Structure 1
Amino acid sequence: MHHGSCLCGDVRYEFEHIEGDYVICHCRSCRKASGSIGGINVAVARDDFLVDDPNQRLTTYESSPGKRRYFCSRCGSPLFTQVGQGGDYVRVRLGSLDTDVTQQPAAHIFMSHRAPWDEPDAHYPQWDEWPDFNQVDIRGATRSKS
């Protein structure tokens, strides 16, 4: 079982399995949302994702049509996103997990959008935009294999 939380600990979540691959996204939107090089999110089946928010701190922002970003209203920690109403997956911010994940990223994506100071590890495949979905299984994203 995986557990995660926001910085202040008011919002907690848990899930059992990561679904598919995950990537490191270097697009401008992910950079803005994270305040860092980009987004590193894992897909979790919506039905497997449980949120504990006793103080009702979880809030949301629609960053683009149909894409909602969830974060703690007290400490501001970004926690997960969901694309579309009732989508099959949520995309959990890997940095908000309290448990270890041993799965490695499948690729760097949106390299054509990266900041000039961002020099990612060339160990993983790199794509200028979206990856070839026959090679990388991203679930629950704005554009994905499933």
Structure 2
Amino acid sequence: MTDYVGSCLCGTVSFEIKGDFDSFFLCHCQHCQKDTGSAHAANLFSRSATLVWRSGADAVTSFTLPGSRHNKSFCKVCGSALPNTQIEGLLVVPAGCLDTEISMVPTAHIFLSSRAAWDEELGEVPKFEGLPD
């Protein structure tokens, strides 16, 4: 049984996840800000789920920041973030690469001491359904 499916932006890589996620963290550390180009990373974690590459496994590469445990797997073609198993016994899945809806709400914001100043009051920012005119 497949619980989740996902892919990269260009469609070269596709995968399935069998099992459940233990936690869903929004990480505000400076590494994740650089890694995503945004205010935080949104990653799901599991110690029991399994990852199966459906296509494009040869297009998946990983980077580990020297001197840290921070790592990222991504598509060599389009650069999209992809699941990784670089930490033994732990599957880390970027939430945005899933094509299946996630019913789990984030467990917590982490590393708030590194939070971007512009990420403080986003609830007050105007909202649009698409690109504003």
TM-score (norm 1): 0.72
Residue number in structure 1 paired with 2:129:
none
Structure-to-structure mapping, 1:37-116, within 5 angstroms: 37-45=39-47, 48-54=50-56, 56-64=58-66, 65-84=68-87, 87-116=88-117
Quote the offset at 1:67 in angstroms: 4.4
Structure 1: any 5+ residue segments left out of the alignment?
A: 123-146
Rg larger in structure:
2
Quote the offset at 1:81 in angstroms: 3.5
Q: 2:102 and 2:121 mapped to 1: Cα distance?
A: 20
Structure 2: any 5+ residue segments left out of the alignment?
A: 124-133
Residue number in structure 2 paired with 1:34:
36
Quote the offset at 1:90 in angstroms: 1.5
* 1:68–1:107 CA distance, 2 compared to 1 (3 A): closer
Would the aligned equivalents of 1:67 and 1:81 in 2 still touch at CA under 8 Å? no
- Structure with the higher helix share, 1 or 2: 2
Quote the offset at 1:17 in angstroms: 2.4
Would the aligned equivalents of 2:19 and 2:49 in 1 still touch at CA under 8 Å? no
User: How many residues were matched structurally?
Assistant: 120
Would the aligned equivalents of 2:84 and 2:93 in 1 still touch at CA under 8 Å? yes
Residue number in structure 2 paired with 1:136:
none
Tell me the SS of whatever aligns to 2:34: helix
Residue number in structure 2 paired with 1:125:
none
TM-score (norm 2): 0.78
Q: 2:71 and 2:54 mapped to 1: Cα distance?
A: 18
Would the aligned equivalents of 1:33 and 1:78 in 2 still touch at CA under 8 Å? no
